[in-house]
Structure 1
Amino acid sequence: MSAVTASKSFRPDIEGLRALAVSGVIAFHFGYTGLPGGFVGVDIFFVISGYLITQHLQQEIAKHGTVNLWTFYARRARRLLPASLFVILVTLVAGYFILAPSEQQLYSKGALFASTYIINLWLIRWSLDYFAVDATNNPFIHFWSLSVEEQFYLAWPALLLLFTRIRPGKHGVFLLMAAVAAISFALCAWLTVVSQPWAFYFSPLRAWEFAIGGLASMALLNNWAKRFCYAPAMGWIGLALVIAAYLRVSEQDPFPGFIALVPALGTVMVLLGGVHQSAYGPKALLAVKPAQWVGKLSYSLYLWHWPVIVYAAMLVPDLTSVQRILLMLLTLALSIFSYRFVENPIRRNAWLMASTRRSLAFAALLTMTGVAVGYASSTFAKHNITSQQRMIAETAERPSTVRATDESCVLDLETVKPKPCIFGSQSSSQTIVLFGDSHADHWSTPLIDIAKKDDIRLVTYLKSSCRATRVTTWSIKLKRDYTECDEWRDLAIKEMIAMKPQLVIISQLSISHLNEEISDPSELSPLRRQWADGIKSTIQPLVDAGIKVVFLRDVPTHKAYLDKCVARALWQGRDPSICDTPRAAALNEGDAKIEKGIVSSIQNASYVDMTSFFCSDTLCHATIDGKLMFRDRHHIATAYAESLAGPLERAILKPAIAGAVKSQPASEKNL
């Protein structure tokens, strides 16, 4: 990320902090699980930027009584825009050969927004869409933090000047800056719980991190703060906080919120502790030559690392450790090239440096170039979408019959009151219920077809990301325990018991997605024992009320988003079978065995396995007869789900309605 020269005195420990920050981010994105919180390196950058920019501006105000905003913006533009545009252009060119045209069209918009440094605003809207394209495929998503920094650079000098006019003197400005930090943090902490994408991407809600960096630089104007900085322990404590964040924070945590205080305050302590030379502080450690070298390249490394790993993972989904190391070396080579031949030559170009107007005009030219190329790339990609590519996209986008009929039939995360939706015959004497999450919803399409054909009343109880199993799970979206799911589930079960249908069909995302690593998945670990008890706790009240229950085994989970993978394969002239996933990787047989054992032990409950319609003995397929089988990694494509009406009826409904339900695998083999 960006480097700022704040004063004539160079701080090697700050360069070392940059190295620490970018190393954490790269390690996290390259899949090094030993640093689950490596992404907080971005927060370190924010604090450093706030510290250095505020220090620089305060020095200019003290010397001249004001800040030349245009000169400041010109310096920032020369420093940041050339390298970023170069990476954007190379990423777009590489994307032409790697991405499907539909992806090129979408991500070209990302290039356009990245060029204008507002991609963070685009990502807020994108993140709020439950069915948005997988963000990990977006080669420009990492520009969000650069957009936040650029927006800070645009607003902070003017705000600091305003503070100086409102409350002249260092104490007045300090208090106003502290007020900004407090308000920004309070809103950030609140929205982390209420609407996390806003807290994460919106620059005013990240302003507190820049502000506390600025407060640290201003604190040094006070003698008491200078004396405090002589304590070597402060720097070590700060460094320990940063390392603790790398080791203990994870994507599952409600971030940024209060957790972001750990790396942010740790960075402040290291910055303050490094003001004075001390043989006992961490300054000497951060100043070692390798750290200085990486710190100098930190901006280029940050720009290049993400498109490198994204494109590599698309071409080789199962990257080995050796391949990831080679990709790191490629990232390093690209960074050195852009630093030497793009970043530094333009940044230090005498002709541009001699005139603020030239620098600003050059910045405008670079920005317009990025916008024009991004728009042209999107337009060109649109014309390259073939009828086959369009059919794949339409297949992936087509909603289930339930969602197409009434989107509200699949409840959102916060809604607790069940909403039963009725399909098929309204007056039939035979009633069946479909109960579960989105993995139940994708079975709704064939079940509704069956209900209409056989004069059956089908009632759905569906809630997004809410498993039928009575176990409290963690919501990735809400960043907390999914208590709304627990309330909804209990109410839905009570309503089903009162309804007394002939059959309840349960389908859900399996326990395998809870990602508990144990040596033998067939063993009942504490989590799996809890899961098994939860299945029984869900089914038992239903069968005790005289209701038959069918528990559908979960579908396979593929290694890639199949709609994108198949579209890419066709664009690259490769067979879509490269998107197939080995059966052993797509299915957890141990978990299925546990589930089947629990369900089969309950009278009037049966376990039905439809895996043979998705997998052979060795592979789980991406397509069949040219049709996309899954619209993403683990949701059945609606068009393929329609073809499963006959097999599903033979496997479940006829035996159940006839009173002959028993545990059985689906026998038909159509692959």
Structure 2
Amino acid sequence: METEFQPRAGTDSRRGRRTDLTGLRALAIVALLLTGAGIGFVPGGFVGIDVFFVISGFLVTGSLVGEWRRTGRISLLGFYARRVRRLLPTAALVLAASLMLTLFCLPRGRWAETGWDVLASGLSVLNWRLADQNAAAFVPDAATSILAHYWALGVTGQVLLVWPVLLLGIAGWAVRHRARDVRGPLLLTVGLVAVCSFAWSVQRTAGDPERAFLGTTTRLWELALGAALALLGARLTGLSHRLGTVLGWAGAAAVVGAVLVMRPGSGFPGYLALLPALGTAAIIASGAAGGRAAAGDSTAGEGSARPGTAGGGPHRILASRPLQAVGAHCYPLYLWYWPLLVAAHARFGELRPAAGAVVLGGAALLAFLTHRYVETPIRDGRRYAWSPSQVLRAGGLLPAAAVLGGLLFQLTVWPPVQPTPRSAAASASARFTPTPTPATPTAPGAAVLGRSPRDSRAGVPVDRVRSITPNPQDAAQDLPDVYRHDCFPAASGENARGCVYGDRTSTHTVVLAGDGHAASWVPALQSIAEAKRWRLVTYLNPNCPFLKLPLDARDERTVATCARWYDNVHAELIGPERPKLLLTTSSRYPMRRGGQALTGADADEALAEGMRRTWSGLTAARIPTVVLRDVPILGTNSGMCVSANPKRLTRCVTGRSAALATGAGAAQAAAVDKLDRVSLLDLNGAICPARECAPVIGGVLVYRDSQHLTATYARTLTPRLRGALDRILRSAQ
């Protein structure tokens, strides 16, 4: 988690150890565990990570500055060797154990994902992998990565790789320019890093909170805050006893308040992260007040007061023996608790608080054994006498083993998916006719709902069904033909590349344009096109809606690519072969105005207005337009959840109102409401007909993930889609 995650409990003043920080780490890890297991009223336990980041920056920087003051130099080899000795053996052990838990507890469809996660964890880049997937790293459940908590190790690993080099470079520059004290230039540098990182965190949180939560650049300011406290060490020791006491209790109140108030999805980190971060900083500062030594300060020698234990602040509580014992084991405890909870969720379904407590008890036992038989012997045993270069050579084998293990896991337990070769005729804007996959659903799916799906008992979630098609473990591969035919590219592109299905010679052309949500309707539209002898042309692009919108994407290149793609497709539509009908839909996209990300009602209004402007322009160009209302968005990966809970399917439901509110459907309805020549086609009554969205209807798995229909279920919607389109076409005549 961080380089000084678990200093020895009960250390003495002669070594200048901060027992109050050990106790603070203990409280942070307890909050994390309680939130993860769903125990107690601690929804914001995830802010414990922020506490760790600030403490890590303080201790690491204090150690480096202290070494500089004592010796006039910083040994990079020694620094990295200490980090390797403290962190990598335990991390590698838990990675190996997580692979075993995956084999025995997680569904087969999760194995390949875990292999890649192990590889990314070994390279300390899992946080970026999870950010690209918009993965959740708040609370473990059956659908989350078994290694998602390694994101924090990735952040600290990346920072600590460059942090000592940065400090050494600034200190060397200050010496060459005859600076009186190197701390001044260092403090200025750290302050600039903190301000820039915090500003970036606020900006990213507004438009992309998942990436902001997991990003290194958006979390760097918390480590820099701790570093600034270490550089201010001498000044902090001069704070009065009374001020130190006030700071200590104020900081404790801020951290506890964050744990009790913060909730996932509340706009965190952003400005809200200031509460736990500044609270931690106040506790650190108060622990050094009244003449007590700051960590890493060379003045903390014999005769110093025991750090963090004197005074009237919370430091006596934090230095208590129970908290010291927990704090001494918090690093292995952090590594063990998440895999065990994910494995238990996957094996037994949603855990009751009592079951969660049992799992945490197992994590505590493993943490104790790991601390005693792995951490302590490696840190204090014969290997401690190795030279830094020997430690680094030996330690380098551990991430290499993780990378190799992740790759071997892929090759040995998961059959590789053979890529579909690109068609030679599939040039930038060419249209070609792929061979469709003949597929007749082996289960009725939406057909069991009858004429009134909302009144049908067949759409009400149940715990067990006789059979499920497709196999939930293979749900991720139940894709529309456009994926197999390379008509839905792996990455966003700007070319208007169309694929033709149905009767290629027909003069009745129907176009489907949009993103992955539009692609989900291809199986049903294929069947309709073949039956009605339509010429179906698809223009599909991942992460790009067929809308002219001011998107707030992660990078400007994506925004520009999507804009050019829309223009190119629009040019095709208004060409000589205008379609008889345009079908379109998309997921919900973040918006911006004046360079600022929009949230709440402003974002909803801007999205609806952009849709209205786009569709009115299409109808003005004599292109009849039908909007397929966006599907309900589930709160969990349905394929993974059903695979993990085949006998308790009700654990995989999502409330209908929440699922409908999450997607773009409301904005689509608001936009169409003010347009005369645009129709809204809503089949969500046959996708989520009851108060809760059933994961399986008519023996068919409805979703392959949290927001894309399985190709099998989409195909069972064919009669309903055909009937709705017939009514729209008749009314337009």
Q: Structure 1 residues 346 and 390 mapped into 2: Cα distance closer, same or farther (>3 Å)?
A: farther
2:384 counterpart of 1:353? yes
In the alignment, does 2:303 pair up with 1:300? no
AA in 2 matched with 1:295:
G
SS at match of 2:234: coil
Percent of residue pairs identical: 28
Pick from 629, 633, 637 the counterpart of residue 561 of structure 1: 637
Name the structure with the higher helix share: 1
The equivalent position to 2:479 in structure 1, one of 398, 403, 419, is 398
Aligned partner of 2:724 in structure 1 is 652
Structure 1 position 124 matched with structure 2 position 128? yes
Q: Is the 8 A contact 2:513 2:546 kept in 1?
A: yes
Which residue number in structure 1 is paired with residue 710 of structure 2? 637
Q: CA deviation at 1:299?
A: 0.8
Q: 1:326 to 1:361 in 2, by over 3 A?
A: same
In 2, the alpha carbon distance for the partners of 1:409 and 1:108 equals: 21
For the 8 Å contact 2:135–2:210, the answer to whether it is kept is no
Q: 1: distance between equivalents of 2:729 and 2:522?
A: 18
Corresponding residue number in structure 1 for 2:6: 3
In structure 2, relative to structure 1, the CA distance for the partners of 1:621 and 1:146 (3 Å cut) is closer
Distance, in Å, in 1 between the alignment partners of 2:93 and 2:676 is 66
Matches within 5 A, 1:481-492: none
Provide the residue aligned with 2:453 in structure 1.
Answer: none
2:186 equivalent among 176, 191, 195: 176
Q: Is the contact made by 2:656 and 2:688 (CA closer than 8 Å) also made in structure 1?
A: no
Q: Measure how far apart 1:219 and its partner are.
A: 0.9
* TM-fit CA distance, 1:272: 0.4
Partner of 1:14: 21
Question: CA shift at 1:8, angstroms?
Answer: 1.0
**Partner in structure 1 of residue 298 of structure 2:** none
Q: Note closer, same or farther for the CA distance 1:410–1:449 as it changes in structure 2 (3 Å cut).
A: farther
Letter in 2 for 1:652: A
RMSD: 5.8
Residues matched between the structures, number: 624
Tell whether 2:200 aligns with 1:190: yes
Flag the 1:125–1:135 CA change in 2: closer, same or farther, 3 A: farther
Task: Identify which of 142, 164, 167 aligns with 2:171.
Answer: 164
**Residue 233 (structure 2) aligns with:** 220
Matched, 1:318 2:353: no
Quickly say closer, same or farther: Cα 1:208–1:553, change in 2 above 3 A.
closer
TM-score (norm 1): 0.71
Higher relative contact order (CA 8 A, sep 6+): 2
Paired AA for residue 279 in structure 2 = G
For residues 365 and 591 of structure 1, the distance between their equivalents in structure 2, rounded to whole angstroms, comes to 49
Unaligned runs of 5+ in 2: 291-309, 419-468, 589-599
In structure 2, the residue matched to 1:334 is 366
Distance 1:603 1:262, change over 3 A: same
Confirm or deny that 1:139 pairs with 2:146. Answer: yes
Letter in 2 for 1:16: G
How many Å apart are 1:427 and its aligned residue? 11
**Residue number in structure 2 paired with 1:445:** 523
**TM, length-normalised to structure 2:** 0.66
- 1:461-514 Cα shifts (integer Å, max 9, x gaps): 989889999xx9x99x879xxx99xx99xx9xx99xx9999988787779xxxx
Q: Name the amino acid aligned to 1:172.
A: V
Q: CA deviation at 1:14?
A: 0.7
User: Which one-letter code corresponds to 2:249 in the other structure?
Assistant: W
SS of match in other structure, 2:6: coil
| Matching residue's letter, 1:263 | P
Distance 1:436 1:45, change over 3 A: same
Q: What is the deviation of 1:273?
A: 0.9
Contact 2:512 2:539 in 1 (8 A): yes
Structure 1 residue 303: Cα displacement:
0.5
User: Is 2:37–2:353's contact at 8 Å kept on the other side of the alignment?
Assistant: no
Native 8 Å contact 1:504 1:547 kept in 2: yes
Find the aligned partners of 1:391 and 1:385 in 2 and give their Cα distance: 17
Looking at structure 1, the residues matched to 209 and 657 of structure 2 have their Cα atoms a distance apart, in angstroms, of: 32
1:29 equivalenced with 2:33 (yes/no): no
Instruction: Tell me whether 1:284 sits opposite 2:316 in the alignment.
Output: yes
Please list, as runs of the form range in 1=range in 2, the aligned pairs for 1:535-614 lying within 5 A after superposition: 561-564=637-640, 577-578=646-647, 580-581=649-650, 585=654, 587=656, 609=683
Query: 2:251 — aligned with what?
Result: 238
User: Bigger CA drift: 454-463 or 151-160?
Assistant: 454-463
C-alpha separation between the residues in 1 aligned to 2:511 and 2:54? 54
Distance 1:215 1:420, change over 3 A: same
Q: CA deviation at 1:135?
A: 11
In 2, are the aligned partners of 1:558 and 1:581 still within 8 Å (CA)? no
CA distance in 1, matches of 2:261, 2:21: 23
Q: Secondary structure of the residue that 1:214 maps to in structure 2?
A: helix
Residue 105 of structure 1, CA deviation: 3.3
With over 3 angstroms needed to count, the CA separation of the structure-2 counterparts of 1:223 and 1:430, relative to structure 1, is closer
When residues 442 and 140 of structure 1 are mapped into structure 2, their CA distance, relative to the original with a 3 A threshold, is same
For the residues of structure 1 that align with 2:384 and 2:697, how far apart are their CA atoms?
Answer: 57
Asked whether the equivalents of residues 188 and 257 of structure 1 are also in contact (C-alpha less than 8 Å), the reply is yes
- The SS at the match of 1:119 is coil
CA distance in 1, matches of 2:242, 2:90: 36
CA–CA distance in 2 between the matches of 1:157 and 1:478?
Answer: 30
**1:260-287: per-residue Cα shift (whole Å, max 9, x none)?**
3333222211100112476442223433
Aligned to 2:280: 267
